[in-house]
Amino acid sequence: MTTTPTPTGTSYRSQLHPAKAGFGRLLLAEWTKFRTVRAWPLVLALAAAVTVAVSQLGAAGSVTSGGPAVTLAPDGTVVTDGFHTAHRTLTGDGTVTVRVTGLKSADGGELEPWAKAGLILKESLKPGSPYAAVMATGDHGVRMQWDFTHDTSGGATDGPVWLRLTRGGDRVTGYMSHDGRDWTAIEAVRLAGLPDTVQVGAFVATPMHQVVQRSFGGTSQTAGGGEATGTFDHLTAEGAPAGARWASADVSGGIPSGPTAADARPGTTHVSASGTYTLTGRGDIAPDLTRGDTVQMSFQGVFVGVLFMVALGALFVTSEYKRGLLRTTFTATPARTKVLAAKALVLSAVTFAVALPATALGFTLAQSTLRDNGFTPPAFPDLSLLAEPALHAVVGSALLLTLVAVLALGTGVLLRTGAGAIAIVAVLVILPQILSLALPLPVAHWLLRATPAAAFAIEQGVTYPRFVDHNCIPGSGCYPLAPWHGLAVLAAYALAALLLAAWSLRRRDA
């Protein structure tokens, strides 16, 4: 008896030309599937509702007394503006020059990397007033900084360095030299509205020393006061009034108070018979990074909304595998990657269309709640929805939710099981966030750079300048990557999942 062998492992392919199934018709078909399966719109609606509700509840649990008075820069930035200076007035255009011969910790300890000694030109000695400064630092070479948020490197130095500031109208140029003869321009900046008479002189400052201890029981952060001593010679000012003397003064805006003697002791200036100036002081001239990030605090619901988007993305494809409907789809449309692309586009469109108003509403309600709980100007900004940094956080958080759904879609195609896809994507996105609260900071930072959880950096509203030492604690809303860089990590994962899913569809039966 002769039998005909039955072929195995060969998928059915429609004989219709792929062009017969236009991409627009595929999009319409996938949209029809989405809206007619009641569970999927319901999950999407729940994701939006939970995102809004949890964001407001999280804000309601955050309370502040407002704290002490703050120092504000002209642009409204909360800043620390504290240093010791030997200064005099400068009327009109002029030049101030000095040689910095030494910078060390006043108590014999380790010098802070951003301790600084140099020259400053400042509108007045009022904390927060505009300034430009050129300085030698503890471990970052020569820098020129101005108006608290701007910094330019002047190069490295391993010994005494000459510094100079030249004013021409409202334009101030910083220079450095190794020998006092050949000068290199560092930066020329414009200080708008600079008055005719300003203050110029030598200065010294050093940030507080901060120590972070991390254990599985939590994180503790302590900060201790400190002082730095800078030595200067050849201090001259061309254009200063005749007979003007260098006066010693402390500027102390925004310096945290403390119980130690170093915290309470004012700065000092000593002048030797040979004209060497020794200045000892504390403080810093930089943005104040010690306050909470009210932007990040307004998006706590996104963390929970992610779980719903993971389920939606995974089930949008795995439910068709479970019921065998995908085989019918591929029978009608042999171009499987087109089907995947249509699914991804429809899923992206509906999730973003719902997520964007949800994150906008959640942010608006959370901001109102935070203001009621004491997070008010001037210590905390009154943020408009359409102004930075709120706008990028609202749009970016909606994109985060959308990309998570797409990542789950691609993973669902690869695994063909909803439970497995949901579990894997949830672990990739959520678990690093949880572990970052307990693991040592280097490991926590690595997780928040290398996993999809990096995308939560898009919720940050505080900019961490590179010229300020800052302990980035994930539990306080800080992420090691910049907002859009973090979101790009998640986008890369979602793209990789889709590419692998397309490869899988072409090689495996439905």
Residue extents of the structural domains in the chain: 18-66+293-507, 78-287
Please state, in angstroms and rounded to a whole number, the distance separating the CA atoms of residues 296 and 298: 5
Residue 260 pLDDT grade (very low, low, confident, very high; cuts 50, 70, 90): very low
Structure tokens, 440:
């040592």
Q: How many CB atoms lie within 10 A of CB 472?
A: 16
165-179, 230-244, 379-393, 494-508: least confident range: 230-244
Query: Given a cut of 50, is residue 183 above it in pLDDT?
Result: yes
| pLDDT tens-digit readout, 217-231 | 566 555 556 899 999
The Cα 262–Cα 105 span in angstroms is: 12
pLDDT in tens, 4-58: 444 444 443 444 444 444 888 889 988 988 998 888 999 999 999 999 999 999 9
Distance between CA 9 and CA 286 in Å, rounded?
67
The answer to whether 324 and 8 are in contact (CB under 8 A) is: no
Name residue, tokens 């507080």: 208
Region 161-170 average pLDDT: 97
Of 4-13, 364-373, 439-448, which range is least confident?
Answer: 4-13
Domain 78-287's class?
Answer: mainly beta
Strand-pair partners of 65: none
> Which pairs with CB-CB distance under 8 Å and at least 24 residues apart come from 156-163?
160/99, 160/100, 160/101, 160/102, 161/99, 161/100, 161/136, 162/97, 162/98, 162/99, 162/100, 162/234, 163/97, 163/98, 163/99, 163/100, 163/118, 163/119, 163/134, 163/135, 163/136
Rounded average pLDDT over 311-326: 82
Task: Name the residue among 256, 253, 284, 287 with its Cα closest to residue 77.
Answer: 287
3-state DSSP call for residue 240? Answer: coil
Q: Would you state the pLDDT for residue 7?
A: 45
Count of positions (residues) in the chain: 510
Q: How many C-beta atoms lie closer than 10 Å to residue 261's C-beta?
A: 8
With 60 as the cut, is the pLDDT of residue 407 above it? yes
pLDDT at 16: 41
Q: Is the bond preceding 381 in cis, omega lying within 30 degrees of 0?
A: no
**Mean pLDDT for the stretch of residues 209-216:** 64
DSSP assigned state of 476: G
**Spatial distance between the Cα atoms of 189 and 204, rounded to a whole number of angstroms:** 21
- β-bridge mates for residue 213, sequence order: 220
As a whole number, mean pLDDT of residues 251-257 equals 69
Q: Is the pLDDT of residue 79 over 70?
A: yes
Structure tokens at 459: 């919720």
| Confidence band, pLDDT 50/70/90 cuts, at residue 404 | very high
Residues 6+ apart with CB under 8 A from 367: 59, 294, 298, 383
Average pLDDT over residues 263-292: 89
Which pLDDT belongs to residue 218?
A: 60
Mean pLDDT score, 424-437: 94
What is the band of 313 on the pLDDT scale with cuts at 50, 70, 90?
very high
For helices 483-507 and 390-415, angle between their N-to-C axes, nearest 10 degrees: 20
Do the bridges between strand 209-215 and strand 71-72 make them parallel or antiparallel, or are there none, so unpaired?
A: unpaired
- Mean pLDDT check: name the lowest of 18-22, 385-389, 472-476: 18-22
DSSP assignment string, 115-178: -EEEEEEES-SSTT--EEEEEEESSS-EEEEETTTEEEEEE--SS-EEEEEEEETTEEEEEEES
Amino acid 330: pLDDT: 65
Banded pLDDT at 252 (limits 50, 70, 90): confident
pLDDT at 474 over 90: no
d(CA 482, CA 181): 41
Query: What is the 3 state secondary structure string of 19-60?
Result: HHCCHHHHHHHHHHHHHHCCHHHHHHHHHHHHHHHHHHHHHH
| Average pLDDT of the residues in 377-395 | 92
- Helix 336-372 with 39-60: angle, nearest 10 deg: 30
Mean residue pLDDT of the chain comes to 88
- Predicted TM-score (pTM) of this structure: 0.86
